[in-house]
Chains A and B, each alone.
Chain A
Amino acid sequence: GEDVEQSLFLSVREGDSSVINCTYTDSSSTYLYWYKQEPGAGLQLLTYIFSNMDMKQDQRLTVLLNKKDKHLSLRIADTQTGDSAIYFCASSRGNNRKLIWGLGTSLAVNP
């Protein structure tokens, strides 16, 4: 079936880069998303990548996609304490299809 997996925790020092990893099982996934959820808040779409792309960069965020291994990563450069949050990876097979969510990676940024 469709599944998305993430490691549950990541701890980094302020100023370092963070890399959050995600694997998915559905080879028909056409869109892959990263959402951020700060404590006590709703979710915020950070970025997404279409399956025919290898990489997408948006300011401090870099998304890498390895379709062969069904592996997605989110790199946050110069991580700040404000980046402390839960990061959810999600996939979908395309338009009009619901999202399949990972369990989320809790990122802790230490001063």
Chain B
Amino acid sequence: DTEVTQTPKHLVMGMTNKKSLKCEQHMGHRAMYWYKQKAKKPPELMFVYSYEKLSINESVPSRFSPECPNSSLLNLHLHALQPEDSALYLCASSQGYSKTGELFFGEGSRLTVL
């Protein structure tokens, strides 16, 4: 099983809503990542978890809150987002944080903030 599964695929939310994005991998990978990607742009790193601990927060606004309940799951909790937060949110995993370039990506959750 070499998949990273993300749900939901599409999400529309208002600026006052609270929602969550979910990501799951069963490859035994110990590092998991959240990236944000705007149209026609490269992905931007948001957060890195290594062995279920938050290793990197790329100065992401607090309206984005990551959570890693166990080594297979990664969540991104969303609250009070702005329209400019509309983007494709990609989850990725790697064998460990020593393999930061060898990423397995999910298909992404496309978020629209109204």
Chain A residues within 8 Å of chain B by Cβ, number: 23
Interface centre among B40, B48, B101, B102 (most CB of A within 10 A): B101
- Is B100's CB within 8 Å of the partner chain A? yes
Q: Is the CB of B98 within 8 A of A42?
A: no
Q: Which residues of B contact A33 (CB under 8 A)?
A: 101-102
Chain B residues within 8 Å of chain A by Cβ, number: 22
Q: Is the CB of B105 within 8 A of A42?
A: yes
Kindly supply a per-residue 1/0 record for chain A positions 82-110, scoring 1 wherever the CB is within 8 Å of any chain B CB and 0 otherwise. 00001010101001111101111000000
The 7 residue pairs across chains A and B that have the minimum distance between CB atoms: A101-B42, A42-B105, A95-B98, A43-B105, A42-B107, A92-B101, A33-B101
Report 15 cross-chain contacts, Cβ distance below 8 Å, ordered by A residue: A35-B103, A41-B107, A42-B90, A42-B106, A43-B92, A45-B103, A48-B101, A48-B102, A92-B100, A97-B100, A98-B48, A99-B100, A99-B101, A99-B103, A102-B42
Q: Write the residues of chain A forming the contact surface with B, with a CB cutoff of 8 angstroms.
A: 31, 33, 35, 40-45, 48, 86, 88, 90, 92, 95-99, 101-104
